[in-house]
A and B are shown apart, each in its own frame.
Chain A
């Protein structure tokens, strides 16, 4: 491995002298790439282990401009390395692989890669990698300009006006510096150098720094602004936009983890141990350690885990929501609880299964929405839930969690229900969409043994999901449906005639497509009252817990969460399988599909 001493970029003739770190386990490629990069006049350092590369990067905090890494490496996944580099060092990373499948490329981009090269790599491809470095620098400059400039102006007042102006001017110049560079203007202006040679002190996010950051985020909730984080971190030399950009990356990272975990859960039959690791409360706020991943997963189990053909918009919303929602731990708890209570309530009077994926964290936001989705006339959707559900949630989660709360009694605040009444089909589908909560509530799982529950829930959920779309639509009496414990719920579900999963999927799809005017309005209502909604849910839960097993909120909550998680996983799992059968449009529910459901169902009260 060729190493260079601490070198600073050559001020002249960018991109020559670009400091590249190449990481690849294949010695042949390492040699070839080294040679190619040298021919481009770059400074190359090679490394064949990812861990070594990370150490190198940490050691020489400002020693590299760009990292090129292979995807498949024995000691660490290339994508993981990519994330670490992005989080800690904020360097552009290029991935390479002999495998050019779209899914892999997409994964690379999702993890933050600047580019994805296919092996065998050509010289000309390597020649242009400097553009990524350049682009990043320009963006940084813009960030500085906008963030700092603004802040300074705001905070410093007139006395600093001149310096602010000077700074802003500097920023502007930096941008136009590019043009200067193009025109080969070698002004070596100390104040404003080219973006290419500007080396604004790059913040290296060391492990300790990152831990402080995560602690601060945990303290205030995920959805806080960088300013607060900055203040609580108490690191004097850190600037607000450093924190802001790091926060953004962190959120992306978490969301990615959640998705991965959710997929794993759904496909791997729910790794309960993972799920049960963290309490719901801690959901979403974790270090980038494994623990955090688990917890995040738990929290965000509901989040777009499904790779169901959700509309792109939906999934995007999903991701964003996740970030947003993950912060609110308290709310999710309540929401979950609320969901649980809902099922309980509805169990008494309704026929279908209400699923509410108690998506932790984010879920809370999503849940309400989901709940609103139900269309069972007989079951008045938990209205308070609806109120609080963010509308986007319904969109993004449509595949997974369609609120299917069937409650015979009309809750005053639930208005969406009526809006749904006109959609019989929708109802069917909605019902199909079992909520995790109802399921949870149905199954008597000792709250004390959360782990067991989770484990139980997992497989159960999966089973219930599969069968069960049927469950949702099935007509079983609500009483059967609701028991506090998920386990029983699940078993109950099994009893139901398994409605074709397609129904469920249909529901999901149709729900998505539903031109829900009513839903929209109700959604909007929901969005508004999240806080109160959760409290309401809480109350409801307490009030309605039929079997008294509704254990301490937290316990139940956790159960729900894990259950939800598993459910979601299941749900996520199902849609892809059944996607084909979907194509259901709410607007034009296929009669044939509808009928069977209706027949089975029975809903109502």
Chain B
């Protein structure tokens, strides 16, 4: 059918563009090759596992960068000082945190999560995510909190992008084949 033909063409174009823009790399092709009649939903399964695991990993990652900020605030709130005092305390604590955050954040832990995420993303061929992870790791090594937070956002962004695209791709391929 013409519609099917068109859809197929669109699919091919789409996936080609994904490869071209490095959203996906050769590993995805390998996954496709692994899929066979005995396991026709293989790629979908793998990708679903990847999404699930990654969400969790990203949450851990984000929380590991935030660490103890909340503790200070909780402490302050518990004290219920006067408003003025609270303001002053907030300010002081904020300053304190600014300087101490570097020590408070466990960069090793963050690095561990990033490494894990890098491995995960390489499993499905999410190249851009992987590259963002590499850069994020460098920031972790330098203990650059600012750089880390920035790049974490980038990693998240890339992840959601590729997730979107993969979902579309898979939906189309299921429809078509």
| Cβ contact of A119, chosen from B33, B45, B122, cutoff 8 A | B122
Of the listed stretches B66-74, B110-118, B149-157, chain A binds: B110-118
Interface digits, A110-135 against B, CB 8 Å rule (1 contact, 0 not)? 00000000011011000000000000
Interface digits, A20-50 against B, CB 8 Å rule (1 contact, 0 not)? 0000011111011001100100000000000
- Asked if A28 and B49 make an inter-chain contact with CB atoms under 8 angstroms apart, the answer reads yes
Q: Does B142 contact A (CB under 8 A)?
A: no
Q: Does A207 contact B (CB under 8 A)?
A: no
| B residues in contact with A35, CB < 8 Å | 34, 39, 42
- Asked if A29 and B119 make an inter-chain contact with CB atoms under 8 angstroms apart, the answer reads yes
Total residues of chain B contacting the partner, CB 8 A: 24
Q: Give residues of chain B (36-56) contacting chain A, Cβ–Cβ below 8 Å.
A: 36, 39, 42, 45-46, 49-50, 53
| Cβ contact of A27, chosen from B30, B39, B53, cutoff 8 A | B53
Given contacts A26-B53, A27-B53, A39-B34, whether A120 and B46 have CB atoms under 8 Å apart is: no
Tell me, in angstroms, the Cα distance from A70 to B53 when the chains sit together. Answer: 17
Most buried by B among A28, A120, A123: A28
- Asked if A119 and B115 make an inter-chain contact with CB atoms under 8 angstroms apart, the answer reads no
- Asked if A98 and B115 make an inter-chain contact with CB atoms under 8 angstroms apart, the answer reads yes
| A residues in contact with B122, CB < 8 Å | 98, 119-120
Tell me, in angstroms, the Cα distance from A25 to B125 when the chains sit together. Answer: 18
Q: Does B124 contact A (CB under 8 A)?
A: yes
- Asked if A28 and B53 make an inter-chain contact with CB atoms under 8 angstroms apart, the answer reads yes
Tell me, in angstroms, the Cα distance from A31 to B53 when the chains sit together. Answer: 13
Whole-angstrom distance from the CB of A140 to the nearest CB of chain B? Answer: 34
Q: Does A72 contact B (CB under 8 A)?
A: yes
- Asked if B30 and A122 make an inter-chain contact with CB atoms under 8 angstroms apart, the answer reads yes
Q: Does B31 contact A (CB under 8 A)?
A: yes
- Asked if A120 and B116 make an inter-chain contact with CB atoms under 8 angstroms apart, the answer reads no
- Asked if A99 and B53 make an inter-chain contact with CB atoms under 8 angstroms apart, the answer reads no
- Asked if A26 and B123 make an inter-chain contact with CB atoms under 8 angstroms apart, the answer reads yes
| Cβ contact of B112, chosen from A29, A36, A72, A123, cutoff 8 A | A72
Whole-angstrom distance from the CB of B136 to the nearest CB of chain A? Answer: 14
Given contacts A35-B39, A120-B125, whether A28 and B34 have CB atoms under 8 Å apart is: no
- Asked if A26 and B119 make an inter-chain contact with CB atoms under 8 angstroms apart, the answer reads yes
- Asked if B120 and A123 make an inter-chain contact with CB atoms under 8 angstroms apart, the answer reads no
- Asked if A119 and B34 make an inter-chain contact with CB atoms under 8 angstroms apart, the answer reads no
Tell me, in angstroms, the Cα distance from A122 to B125 when the chains sit together. Answer: 12
Total residues of chain A contacting the partner, CB 8 A: 19
| B residues in contact with A120, CB < 8 Å | 26-27, 30, 122-123, 125
- Asked if B53 and A32 make an inter-chain contact with CB atoms under 8 angstroms apart, the answer reads no
Most buried by A among B26, B33, B116, B123: B123
Q: Give residues of chain B (3-60) contacting chain A, Cβ–Cβ below 8 Å.
A: 26-27, 30-31, 33-34, 36, 39, 42, 45-46, 49-50, 53
Given contacts A28-B46, A28-B53, A120-B30, whether A72 and B120 have CB atoms under 8 Å apart is: no
Given contacts A26-B116, A31-B46, whether A36 and B53 have CB atoms under 8 Å apart is: no
Whole-angstrom distance from the CB of A343 to the nearest CB of chain B? Answer: 40
| B residues in contact with A31, CB < 8 Å | 45-46, 49
| A residues in contact with B49, CB < 8 Å | 27-28, 31
Tell me, in angstroms, the Cα distance from A39 to B39 when the chains sit together. Answer: 11
- Asked if A32 and B119 make an inter-chain contact with CB atoms under 8 angstroms apart, the answer reads no
| B residues in contact with A119, CB < 8 Å | 119, 122-123
Tell me, in angstroms, the Cα distance from A32 to B30 when the chains sit together. Answer: 10
| B residues in contact with A70, CB < 8 Å | 119
| A residues in contact with B27, CB < 8 Å | 120
- Asked if B115 and A72 make an inter-chain contact with CB atoms under 8 angstroms apart, the answer reads yes
Whole-angstrom distance from the CB of B149 to the nearest CB of chain A? Answer: 23
Given contacts A26-B53, A27-B53, A120-B125, whether A32 and B46 have CB atoms under 8 Å apart is: yes
Tell me, in angstroms, the Cα distance from A36 to B34 when the chains sit together. Answer: 7
| B residues in contact with A25, CB < 8 Å | 116
| Cβ contact of A28, chosen from B26, B112, B118, B124, cutoff 8 A | B124
Tell me, in angstroms, the Cα distance from A99 to B45 when the chains sit together. Answer: 25
Given contacts A26-B53, A72-B116, A98-B115, whether A32 and B45 have CB atoms under 8 Å apart is: no
Tell me, in angstroms, the Cα distance from A32 to B125 when the chains sit together. Answer: 12
| B residues in contact with A97, CB < 8 Å | 119
Tell me, in angstroms, the Cα distance from A440 to B67 when the chains sit together. Answer: 44
Tell me, in angstroms, the Cα distance from A120 to B115 when the chains sit together. Answer: 14
Interface digits, B93-136 against A, CB 8 Å rule (1 contact, 0 not)? 00000000000000000001001101110111100000000000
| A residues in contact with B45, CB < 8 Å | 31
| B residues in contact with A39, CB < 8 Å | 34, 36
Known: A26-B116, A32-B123. 19 other contacts (CB 8 A): A26-B119, A26-B120, A26-B123, A29-B119, A31-B49, A32-B31, A35-B39, A36-B34, A39-B34, A39-B36, A72-B112, A72-B119, A98-B115, A98-B119, A119-B122, A120-B26, A120-B30, A122-B30, A123-B33
Chain B interfacial positions (CB closer than 8 Å to A): 26-27, 30-31, 33-34, 36, 39, 42, 45-46, 49-50, 53, 112, 115-116, 118-120, 122-125
7 A-B pairs with the lowest CB-CB distances in the bound complex, closest first: A98-B119, A120-B27, A28-B123, A28-B50, A120-B122, A29-B123, A28-B49
Chain A interfacial positions (CB closer than 8 Å to B): 25-29, 31-32, 35-36, 39, 70, 72, 97-99, 119-120, 122-123
**A-B pairs with beta carbons under 8 Å apart, 21 shown:** A26-B116, A26-B119, A26-B120, A27-B49, A28-B49, A28-B50, A28-B53, A31-B45, A32-B31, A35-B42, A36-B34, A39-B36, A72-B119, A97-B119, A98-B118, A98-B122, A119-B122, A120-B26, A120-B123, A123-B30, A123-B33
